[in-house]
Chains A and B, each alone.
Chain A
Amino acid sequence: MAAVRALRVAVRQRPGLGPAGLRALWGGRSRKEERAVEAAGVVPEQEERSEPSLNQPPPRRRSFVPPEDLQSCLESHVREVFGPSVPQDWQQAPLQEKRLKHRLLAGLAAELGLAVPNSQLHHMRRAGDVLGFYRSPVSGGSKMDELAAAELPPNLKIVWQQ
């Protein structure tokens, strides 16, 4: 009798085959734990969305304007990286070898603040291609930023929200 009673107590203590038991079996959290976590206040991992406002936030990406001395800066970098093996026209210097290419492009990125994106890297075959890339200005903002910067009629407002 005592053994049967002990067995029944043991069975009752285990979660069993109900919804709570199956949840525990598959590793989920019980409802009490979840309520405790909610009460504790889960720290939001993302930034909370800000209120919509008329003030334009700063652009995400930095804009790039090619400096005046771009050509001379590039030429000096090319001569420094290639050393004595620079061909007559420095713009024809080939960038086939990865070591030289990396050195040149990393040095230019550090100096000018803009790195060649991955999609354009395989187009950079000669120093002239690099020059052509750095000659084009890059606008920092998106289409909305350009629209906001343009002349808008007085009854058109843009509302910004992160």
Chain B
Amino acid sequence: MIRAGAAALRAWSRGRGWAALSTAPPAPPAVLEPRKGLSPEEPPVASPVLRSCSVPVPSPLSPVQAWVGSLRHPQDTLRGLADLHPDVFAVTPRLDILHTVATWQKNFRRISYARVRTRAEVRGGGRKPWRQKGSGRARHGSVRSPLWRGGGIAHGPRGPTSYFYMVPMRVRVLGLKVALSVKLMQDELHVVESLELPSSDPQELLELARARHWGHSVLLVDTNEFPENISAAAEGLKSITLIPALGLNVHSLLKHQTLVLTLDAVAFLEQRLLWHDSRYSPLVPFSLPHRDLPGAA
């Protein structure tokens, strides 16, 4: 017994661990049997990916639909069918709201730093250059008036100017809904079950976009994190952009020709954008902490 124990300890120290202590004979190597039924060329037929709206659709409206594809293969476009909420993806195409929100996005961050000197700020020009009458020249009070070369500017830009203004939150939300609806109705919106790529080659991603006729710029949206392959592939490309669903905005939607959403992103957007239809007006601005904002803020 002591000898068996010593042998076991020696086996353990050789690194075989718990397997060294078992007394059963070692199992024969597993033989891979050829799979019957499915030939290796045919991929297994997957059940279709069907998605219904998480937020209930009120009765006269019916959901709009989109194909659910995947990025694994250029021809893998008809994997399933997703229902999209009509109050997000089928609103009236209000181009004026798109213009309002896109202009707001461009301008609200703008601070113009242009500043020029007025006649009071230009160096010099305190003395009357010549007497008022009798010299034959035009009458002037200062060599730095706006009429003079080198003089101040009369109505020029004055100091850092802010163009900040806010468009109501509901209008911005409606802008997003209109942009998404327009993308869907112009056949530029595609739904994908996840953004997993077979490889991280940028050329393959471009070939996939080309084969599916996605246009010259593609916007890929996912909820939180992107898989490594697609982040690596889209890193150096200028025409393919990845953004998280929180960063979706009207300017990016209009700038890129095609929009590709994952199913998670669709659910996120529906939940967030539809909350505003049925919320109370805030007693306190939303920028302060609230307990019941959507997304568990």
Residues of A whose CB lies within 8 Å of any CB of B are 45-46, 60-61, 98-99, 101-103, 105-106, 109-110, 115, 117-119, 121-122
* Interface contact A118-B238, CB-CB below 8 Å: no
- B67 interface neighbour in A46, A121, A122, Cβ under 8 Å: A121
Q: CB < 8 Å: which of A99, A105, A110, A119 contacts B50?
A: A99
Whether B50 contacts A118 by the Cβ 8 Å rule is no
Supply 6 A–B pairs (Cβ within 8 Å), ascending by A. A45-B238, A101-B81, A115-B77, A118-B65, A118-B66, A121-B67
Q: B-side interface residues toward A, CB under 8 Å? A: 48, 50, 52, 62-67, 77-78, 80-81, 83, 90, 184-187, 189-191, 202-203, 206, 213, 236-239
B128 to chain A, nearest CB (A): 47
Q: Is the interface of A mostly helix, strand, loop or mixed?
A: helix
A45 B237 Cβ-Cβ under 8 A: yes
Partner of B184, one of A106, A110, A119: A119
User: Which of B52, B77, B186, B203 meets A98, CB within 8 Å?
Assistant: B52
Q: Which residues of B contact A118 (CB under 8 A)?
A: 65-67, 184, 187, 189-191
Is the Cβ of A46 less than 8 Å from the Cβ of B213? no
Q: How long is the Cα–Cα vector from A122 to B50 in the complex, in angstroms?
A: 15
Partner of B202, one of A45, A61, A102, A106: A45
Q: Would you call A60 and B213 a contact (CB within 8 A)? A: yes
B184 and A45 contact, CB distance less than 8 A: no
Residue contact A119 to B202, C-beta cutoff 8 Å: no
Distance, CA A103 to CA B50, complexed state (A): 11
> Please, which residues of chain A bring their CB within 8 A of the CB of B237?
45
B65 and chain A: residue at smallest CB distance: A121
Chain B residues with Cβ below 8 Å from A45 are 202-203, 206, 236-238
Q: Tell whether, in the assembled complex, residue A121 and residue B64 are in contact, meaning their CB atoms are under 8 Å apart.
A: yes
